[in-house]
Structure 1
Amino acid sequence: MDWFAPIDLYCERADIGLWAEPINALSNLAFPLAAIWAWHSAGRFGQRRTIVAILCLLAGLIGVGSGLFHTFANRWSEYADVIPIWSFVALYVLSAIALVGGAPAGKVARIGVISAAITTVIVLATSGDGEAHSHEADPLNGSLQYAPALLALVVFSAITLWRGHAIRGWAVAATGVFALSLGFRIMDLHLCAVWPMGTHFMWHVLNALMVGLLLQGLIRCSPARDGVA
């Protein structure tokens, strides 16, 4: 594997230069902001647990990894992009079960680390070749990989609505924002001719908002319990 093979996937990138996607790269600042917002709320609501700290850290790392990918645009930076994303997804699902559903958070955190490791291995094993893509070759612009995440959010929202859980508003809002962000990701290459900078930066901004909403829901709607990680 060539770790430095250039990857050209987005409308804004017109060459293989280091700073060829400034808007896509800088829009990732939204993720650390979402993490800071969440950590501030965790302090307000007495939820500065280990599991919440890890989730906030991963949220910030999503922005760092994606920023690296849209700056260097090669194989190693692609992994820096996708690994924090799927690690966050794996751990958040288990955290929601623990902190919202009432399962022991310490035990779920350990399971979450294992799940994140397994997810990382799967991502490494299934990642595609580093080459330029086009909307003719893939009308969804590689977005089909996020279908499981959208399905998980829809199911999560449905369950919280069915149970009347306090987190339901946050879950539904996060699901709607993620569906909208997927639309911007899909349309990126389709609009190059009329909008050269593309729409992928909105995928970052809206995903950061989605992450922020999920974290806020988890933090604000979890019962305060002493002695739990």
Structure 2
Amino acid sequence: MAWTDPVDIYCERVSAAFWAEPVNALSNASFILAALWAAVEAHRRGIRSPLAWLLILMAGAIGIGSFLFHTFANRWSELADTLPIWSFVAVFVLAAMHVIGGMPARRVAMVGGLVIAAAVAALWFATGEGTGPAPAAPDPLNGSGQYFPAMLALVVFTIIAFWRRHPGAPWILAALVTFAVSLTFRTLDRDICTALPLGTHFAWHLLNGLMIALLLQMMIRTGRFAQTAPR
């Protein structure tokens, strides 16, 4: 498999042209807007935590990587798409263990290796490496199964946040509901091309941008970053 091999898995793409997916490509602006909103709020609150700003930068990187994938649409741009996503997931999970779960930083560092290993495995699966021959039948979930661990993590953090009466609980619940809807749109995209040639993948981008915006705002407004920020 060459890095320049084309990838055509979305309704909107009907050719190999750079702008064959204009809506899918431009809808990635939602991630950039989420990062900008978070940056403005963090600056306003005087938050200087490197971890908070790393998450903000990673959110913007998701939008850039996904834009590359929906324009170049090949194997290397697929990696540019998935790597920022799973990097954000790994770092957010570690941050949430401390910010929401109250886990000591040392213990968070201990489980960090496991989280990173899981993210690498998900990335390996997502890019099709090491999966062996292609399955005889299409994936009924259209590749959405790779995101179930992220969904499970949000469910767990939602339960913990409400159990601990964390002020960010409503934000996390809103993010969970948003992600559930966005995952549905991603799953449906391949199967409705005839009825809706544009597809629904763009809705996955828009709603995921909103989900990440909610998570970042939760961290900035109610997490330990907010509690320790200078006034």
| TM-score bucket of the superposed structures, by smaller chain | 0.7 to 0.9
Decide whether aligned partners of structure 1 residues 153 and 55 sit closer, same or farther in structure 2, where only a CA change above 3 A counts: same
**Runs of 5+ consecutive residues of structure 1 not aligned to the other structure:** none
**Runs of 5+ consecutive residues of structure 2 not aligned to the other structure:** none
Are the equivalent residues in 1 in contact too, given 2:48–2:229 (CA < 8 A)?
no
Q: Distance in 1 between matches of 2:46 and 2:194?
A: 50
Are the equivalent residues in 2 in contact too, given 1:100–1:221 (CA < 8 A)?
no
* Amino acid in structure 1 at the alignment position of 2:228: R
Q: How many residues align?
A: 221
Decide whether aligned partners of structure 1 residues 106 and 52 sit closer, same or farther in structure 2, where only a CA change above 3 A counts: farther
Kindly provide the CA deviation profile for residues 46-82 of structure 1, in whole angstroms up to 9, marking residues without a partner as x.
Answer: 3231001110010000000000000011100000000
User: 1:154: which partner in 2?
Assistant: 155
Q: Distance in 2 between matches of 1:106 and 1:20?
A: 48
Decide whether aligned partners of structure 1 residues 149 and 121 sit closer, same or farther in structure 2, where only a CA change above 3 A counts: closer
What secondary structure sits across from 1:61 in the alignment?
Answer: helix
User: 1:225: which partner in 2?
Assistant: 228
Are the equivalent residues in 1 in contact too, given 2:65–2:84 (CA < 8 A)?
yes
The alignment's C-alpha RMSD in Å is 2.4
Kindly provide the CA deviation profile for residues 18-66 of structure 1, in whole angstroms up to 9, marking residues without a partner as x.
Answer: 1110100000011011001011111223323100111001000000000
Decide whether aligned partners of structure 1 residues 82 and 110 sit closer, same or farther in structure 2, where only a CA change above 3 A counts: farther
Are the equivalent residues in 2 in contact too, given 1:7–1:75 (CA < 8 A)?
yes
User: 2:60: which partner in 1?
Assistant: 60
Q: Output aligned runs, 1:43-58, within 5 Å.
A: 43-58=43-58
Q: Give the TM-score normalised by the residue count of structure 2.
A: 0.87
Are the equivalent residues in 2 in contact too, given 1:25–1:66 (CA < 8 A)?
yes
* Amino acid in structure 2 at the alignment position of 1:137: P
Kindly provide the CA deviation profile for residues 85-110 of structure 1, in whole angstroms up to 9, marking residues without a partner as x.
Answer: 01101101111222344456699589
* Amino acid in structure 1 at the alignment position of 2:121: I
Q: Output aligned runs, 1:1-229, within 5 Å.
A: 1-103=1-103, 118=117, 121-126=120-125, 127-128=127-128, 137-223=138-224, 224-225=227-228
Cα displacement (A) at 1:225: 2.3
Q: Distance in 1 between matches of 2:3 and 2:208?
A: 27
**Between the two proteins, what is the percent identity of the paired residues?**
52
What secondary structure sits across from 2:228 in the alignment?
Answer: coil
Q: Distance in 1 between matches of 2:46 and 2:172?
A: 21
Are the equivalent residues in 2 in contact too, given 1:51–1:109 (CA < 8 A)?
no
Q: Distance in 2 between matches of 1:78 and 1:68?
A: 8
Q: Give the TM-score normalised by the residue count of structure 1.
A: 0.87
Decide whether aligned partners of structure 1 residues 85 and 50 sit closer, same or farther in structure 2, where only a CA change above 3 A counts: same
Decide whether aligned partners of structure 1 residues 87 and 180 sit closer, same or farther in structure 2, where only a CA change above 3 A counts: same
Cα displacement (A) at 1:119: 5.1
